[in-house]
Amino acid sequence: MKKTFVTYEEIKEIVKEYPTPFHLYDEKGIRENAERLKQAFSWNRGYKEYFAVKATPNPFLINILREYGCGCDCSSMTELMLSEAIGVKGHDIMFSSNDTPVEEFRKAAELGAIINLDDITHVEVVEKTLGQLPKTMSCRYNPGGVFEISNGIMDNPGDAKYGMTDEQITEAFRMMKAKGVEEFGIHAFLASNTVTNDYYPMLARVLFELAVKLKKETGVHIGFINLSGGVGIPYRPEQEPNDIFAIGEGVRKVYEEVLVPEGMGDVAIYTEMGRFMMGPYGCLVTTAINEKHTHKEYIGVDACAVNLMRPAMYGAYHHITVMGKEDQPCDHKYDVTGSLCENNDKFAIDRMLPRIDMGDILVLHDTGAHGFSMGYNYNGKLKSAEVLLKQDGSTQLIRRAETPKDYFATFDCFDILKDMKY
Ligand SMILES: *Cc1c(COP(=O)(O)O)cnc(C)c1O
């Protein structure tokens, strides 16, 4: 059974202060997980997690992770600006983007970020844009084909727009070495949301073997290998969570086996996790406001896909707890919907839940990553607040909810809205 990190008694108090819907984050859970990750990779001297800012771009939450040595993985101008604003700079920023506009390369270089190239043509683009290449550069690799992890989990890198082929990354390293680059990194993201301890070790083997080959063929010094994101979380109650210690140990074994004998025992391991760092430590709190009995039983809540897009976008499962009814039998079958004029605006379809009454508080689990951040404004819906549940049980507003004024802000330059009261 999946449990909420907030109790019914606590949530009843919290909703008095913050109107639903809002995303709530669990400081204690974030800290304990970050500490475990740090321990799991403590065998590697240069280890660093670059938190994938896109997953949860909230400065308060990122600042918690920084206490555990995390940097920022950015992929756009505003993500770079956010990092800059909170004082993250230099090699504490990994700039892993694709289809990159040159201004973003310029900004990344200005901040001293490590630039991770998605394509071989960018070697020249970056050189032209900056005048010369930075001393440290990284490239993203895509082996193509199908990447199969032991227990039937697989993904399809051959179909993904990211990264360079074998030949291209070799050529890119040669070119960059000739142009004065001294320190090289390799990056790859081959599978997403992998709920298995085998993904990182398997990916590590692919990248470590590539690193050995690249070193031999091009003579470059490989400073780091970036395993990127993709470590998953158990969205479904029957799923077994990943064991980060087993993952760290699995990567260590491959490191000892492949890199150390080649005299590459100084290579730093980097990760760029988003989901694993934050996913389970956030939830969407919403209230049941309508019920409808037609061809199906519907419960309408005050949140919608604007607040959490994953179910509408990928049919993703998010567990739902009806607060205060945790022990009641799940003997009602509901579609739990938002109010968008889109029939895919459903948080759950044919979900067995306890009987829901109007005013019940529903908690949608595991919205801490790729939740709030995927928000949009369809139907003129506004983005919600974000609230931090602190370790001492108190709460802090870490992002206010949007108001109509925010929605109309981009018309501010037009006279038509001059006298509008919003
Ligand atoms: C999205 C992304 C991540 C984080 O992925 P998770 O699945 O959240 O761990 C890391 N690196 C890059 C380049 C990404 O695009």
CA of 228 to the centre of ligand 1 (A): 6
pLDDT band at 417 (very low <50, low <70, confident <90, very high): confident
Residue 150 DSSP label: T
Pick the range with the lowest mean pLDDT from 5-9, 157-161, 224-228. 157-161
- Asked if the model's pLDDT at residue 4 lies above 90, the reply is yes
Best residue among 54, 62, 367 to mutate for probing ligand 1, ranked by most atoms within 8 Å of CB = 54
279 lines ligand 1 (CB under 6 A): no
272 lines ligand 1 (CB under 6 A): yes
CB of 340 closer than 8 Å to CB of 378: yes
**Residues 100-116: tens digit of each pLDDT:** 999 999 999 999 999 99
Pick the range with the lowest mean pLDDT from 47-61, 139-153, 336-350, 356-370. 139-153
**Residues 59-75: tens digit of each pLDDT:** 999 999 999 999 999 99
Percent of the chain with pLDDT over 70: 99
Nearest-atom number in ligand 1 for the CA of 116 is: 13
The 3-state secondary structure of 245-308, one letter per residue: HHHHHHHHHHHHHHHHHHCCCCCEEEECCCHHHHHHHEEEEEEEEEEEECCCEEEEECCCCCCC
CA of 276 to the centre of ligand 1 (A): 10
229 lines ligand 1 (CB under 6 A): yes
Best residue among 273, 277, 281, 367 to mutate for probing ligand 1, ranked by most atoms within 8 Å of CB = 273
Nearest-atom number in ligand 1 for the CA of 276 is: 9
187 lines ligand 1 (CB under 6 A): no
**Residues 184-203: tens digit of each pLDDT:** 999 999 999 999 999 999 99
CA of 361 to the centre of ligand 1 (A): 31
pLDDT band at 416 (very low <50, low <70, confident <90, very high): confident
230 lines ligand 1 (CB under 6 A): yes
Tokens of 40: 């799991």
**Residues 114-128: tens digit of each pLDDT:** 999 999 999 999 999
Supply the residue whose CA is at minimum distance from atom 13 of ligand 1: 96
CA–CA–CA angle 18, 312, 196 (5° rounding): 95
**pLDDT for residue 88:** 98
**pLDDT for residue 415:** 77
33 lines ligand 1 (CB under 6 A): no
**pLDDT for residue 148:** 86
98 lines ligand 1 (CB under 6 A): no
21 lines ligand 1 (CB under 6 A): no
One-letter amino acid at 232 equals: G
Tokens of 130: 């900056």
**pTM for the whole thing?**
0.97
**pLDDT for residue 422:** 60
354 lines ligand 1 (CB under 6 A): no
**pLDDT for residue 421:** 67
Tokens of 1: 């059974």
How far is residue 25 from each of residues 58, 117, 278, 322, measured CA to CA in Å? 11, 33, 9, 18
189 lines ligand 1 (CB under 6 A): yes
Which uninterrupted H or E stretch holds 395? strand 395-399
CA of 54 to the centre of ligand 1 (A): 8
